[in-house]
Each structure stands twice: as structure tokens, then as C-alpha cells.
Amino acid sequence: MVTAPLAGLSVVEGTAFVAAPSGGMTLAQLGADVIRFDQVGGGIDHRRWPLTADGVSLYWNGLNKGKRSLAVDLRDGEVTELLTELIAGAGNFLTNFPARGWMDPERLTTRSRELGHDDLVMVVVTGSHDGTTALDYTVNCAVGYPSLTGHPDDPRPVNNVVPAWDLVCGQMAATGLLAADRRRRLGGGGGLVTIALADVALATVGALGNLAEAQVNGTERDRVGNAIYGAFGRDFVTSDGRRAMVVAITAKQWSGLQAATGTADVVAALADELEVDLGDEGERYLVTDRLCALFEPWFAARTLTEVAAALDEHEVCWGPYRSVVQMVAEDPRASTENPLFAELDQPGVGRHLVPGSPLAFGGADAVDRGAMVAPRLGQHTEEILTGELGLSAGALGALVDRGAVALG
């Protein structure tokens, strides 16, 4: 049996929503023992949509796969001291809760040392760098991308359905924890790592050249619908009412598209007419509408199946537009044919596809990607309190009786 990459790493997680829980799940899928604590009865994200018909949160289950669950009353002083001991013993704490009170980094570090544990690593996810509140939705609207999204004939900004900044932030939080752990192993000690959701977005805007574009060029970029800025790519409608997104960035992709659609001669004629070099992706972008007018009749005369066969034959980079239901029904990548997935029975939900880690150690065909179900709320309360913390049955029973902890 192959040892998981993060086997032996222990992490305590006190989180909610997307960013921090997704970071903890990433660590769990790679083999870390991640213990998530929640308020008895469930925290603020325990019943977030989408839900099953019975009211079980598919969202919560989706972001907490592979973790152990501890249900406690976070208002109880004895409980918070137990959590402090748990964090000290694990040596790693990931949270997006306010870092104050018993979760104050300095207090946790001091108590950890008093309990005989040095070098606590604590990763705190915040909204903005100054501590003010921010969510993916309020960050995304502020960094300019909604004004670039949508069609040119509609001036309304368009938000992103995917909480992209949350997801990137979660992965960076996991990276930060692993980097701090490495520094500790090399003798640099533990410490506090903070990551602001807004900074993740701003850093990305900078990395993609958008900040420099605004400052240096001083221009507002136009929205281009489903076209790709600076290259050739757009959606086309097929004869059966489906849509295909086609991208031709490399020379091979561009020649393949012309070969598949039989348009090489008319494309060459257009290049002569406009006196442009269509071998250059930037120049292709500048005449996207004229090029699309050449390709549209070919797509409109064929079904999606016929389009797929021709584009695949010529190794064109493309993808069909699908609903999620269509994806599950049609795409073999969203099935157990893909080693990413296992079909597992999630308690309270039923049997469905569960992804593991997209990281395939040993190559793309690696079969164990760490696909696991999510725990029931409080499923591991007894195991953790009596095992990791050594509580007696009597002490545990007393906590249960007064509602300080709950067993799942």
C-alpha cells in the first residue's frame, strides 16, 4: 500500500464556508489527519444549499470529505481549553474564525508551550489585509472582472457563479501551512501565517497583467462575450441546438480548425483582404468576428456529434457546453472511468460520485486519489476526546449531559 504524501501530519480546523474548509479538505485528501470542530447542532455553513430533499447539505459534505468531526459548544470555557490542548498536540491550526479570545494566536502559542508543545503553526484566513470583512462575492465585484464579463451589447456586470477566489485562497492556505511546516522542520520554528481573500484576488489580477494594463496602458478593456481576449476562441451553435467552445491558440490548433472546417482557402483570402498575419494569435483576435463568420455555417450545418468527430480527428481544442446534469450523463471524465472519482455511499445522502485529489502521485493512472466521504457532524467526538485528549468515560459523559459536546 502506497503511503499518502501527508501521512503523519495533524491539523485542527475551525472554519466555515469555502476558502478555509477547501484548504483543509485538500490536506485530508493527501493523507493528513484533519479534525474539524463545529458548534453543537452545526455551524453557520452546516445547512447551506444545495440540499437533498431531506435537507442534508451537499455543500457541507462536499467541502469536508475525509475529515474527522468534533461537535462542541464553543461558548463553553472547558471546551475551549480542550480545543486548545487538541491544537497544541496537533501543532497545526487552520481557521477563518476571528483570531481573538481563546483563538488569539499569541494566546494559543503561549498555551501550547505551557502544555509542552513548541512551534505551533497557525494559518488564519481573513477577508481583507486590514481585518475587515470580505466574501468572494464582494471581492470579485471590486477587482474589475465582472465589468469584463458578459456580452458587448449588455452593460450590466456579470458575477462568477464559481467562488473562484475562495477556492484559490483555500489552496494557498494549504500551501502556506505546508510551507510553515517545512520551515519548522528546517529549524525555523512555527508561527502565524495570514492570508487575506482580497489579497489572493489582487495578486491574481497582478499576475495576469491586468493591474499593469490599467496603470501602464490606462485603458478599460471591452467585454467580448464568449470570445477569448487576445487570441482566437468562441462558441458556435450546432444544427441540433447545442454549443461548442472552440479555441485555437497554438499554430497546430489553428491549422487543425481550418482543416476540420475546410476553410483554409477562405481564411487565407481574408488575411490577404485585411493585410493581417493570421498566424499571429493577437491578429486573429482583432478580426474574431470576421473569422467566426467564416466558421459559423460549418457548425450550423452539423450536429454536435458530427462536429465532435471532425474536430477530434484534426486535434482541435474544443469542448461542448453542458449543464451539470448533462455532464454527469455524457462525460466519461465525470465517472469512475476517471481515477479521480470513486462511487461512495455518503451517510444521509446516498451513493454518488466523490472526487479525491486532482494530484496524482505516480502518474495520471494512480488509482488512490484519497476519495472519501464526509463525516457526520460530531461523528468522531468520542474518539477524539477519549483518544487524543485522554478523557475518561465519566468526564465525556458529563460534557455530553450538559450539552458541551455532542456525539454524532
**And the C-alpha cell for 152?**
458587448
- H or E segment and range at residue 251: helix 251-261
Distance CA(59)–CA(148), nearest Å, equals 29
Question: Does 166 participate in catalysis according to the annotation?
Answer: yes
Q: Which residues, other chains included, contact 13 with Cβ-Cβ below 8 Å and sequence gap of 6+?
A: 20, 21, 24, 34, 35, 36, 37, 67, 93, 94, 95
Dihedral-angle region of residue 238 (phi above 0 means left; psi in -120 to 50 means alpha; beta otherwise): beta
Beta strands 92-95 and 10-14: pairing type?
A: parallel
Set 33, 166, 181, 199: catalytic member: 166
3-state secondary structure 47-65: CCCCECCCCCEHHHHHHCC
**And the C-alpha cell for 285?**
483576435
* Residue 245: closest CA among 258, 227, 271: 227
Q: Which residues, other chains included, contact 268 with Cβ-Cβ below 8 Å and sequence gap of 6+?
A: none
Distance CA(343)–CA(407), nearest Å, equals 27
The answer to whether the beta carbons of residues 117 and 188 sit under 8 Å apart is: no
Distance CA(112)–CA(89), nearest Å, equals 8
**And the C-alpha cell for 17?**
464556508
Catalytic residues: 166
